[in-house]
Amino acid sequence: MKIYLFNLLLFFTFSFYAQRGETGDKTFADRFPEEVINKYTSSSLLVVNTVDHDIIVCVRDQRKKYLNHVYIRNKESYLFKGLPISRIFLQYKSKEFFYEDKQNTVINFGERHTFSFYYDASKAGNFIVISEEDFFKP
């Protein structure tokens, strides 16, 4: 009986841990098209999550077409590599809300950029709230 309870406890321990994703997971791979990667540009974007909760970041090109997405745990960062030469926009899912950053980042050959995700109520004008449909459109 003790072995049975131990195994049951062990199973629940692993199942609770498995419910939270790891940084770099493609959480919504079934809802987005194939990611766009250009191996020859040598460009990258480091996204740093500085808030106290996990986020999902979606990278879109200048025409708002999907490029890539990733799950980022709180206080961690992720490096998007092989971004095409374009102006990119970031959208993110934070808790139950969806946002789009108003700023665009120009990606040129070989450049490395950094974007720090943080929430500051006084800087609410830096992003717009979008719908779930806008976040998941191809």
How far apart, in whole angstroms, are the C-alpha atoms of residue 79 and residue 111?
13
Give the separation between CA 71 and CA 93, rounded to whole angstroms.
9
In a domain, 7, yes or no: no
Considering the domain boundaries, does residue 81 fall inside one? yes
In a domain, residue 16? The reply is no
Say if 10 falls within a structural domain: no
Provide the number of structural domains found in the chain.
1
Q: How far is CA 79 from the centre of its chain?
A: 10
Predicted pLDDT at 17: 52
* Residues above pLDDT 70, as percent of the chain: 83
Confirm whether 6 is domain-assigned. no
How high is the pLDDT of residue 117?
81
CATH code (residue 89):
2.60.40.1120
Report pTM. 0.78
pLDDT digits (tens, 9 = 90+) for 57-108: 999 999 999 999 999 999 999 999 999 998 999 999 988 889 898 888 898 9
Query: Which contiguous run of DSSP H or E holds residue 9?
Result: helix 2-18
Answer yes or no: are the C-beta atoms of 38 and 83 closer than 8 Å: yes
| Any domain includes 3 | no
Q: How many CA atoms lie within 13 A of 60 on its CB side?
A: 22
Ramachandran region, residue 14 (left: φ > 0; alpha: ψ -120 to 50; beta: rest): alpha
Q: Which domain holds residue 102?
A: 22-136
On whether residue 9 sits in a domain, the answer given is: no
Q: Does a structural domain hold residue 96?
A: yes
pLDDT in tens, 111-125: 899 888 876 555 556
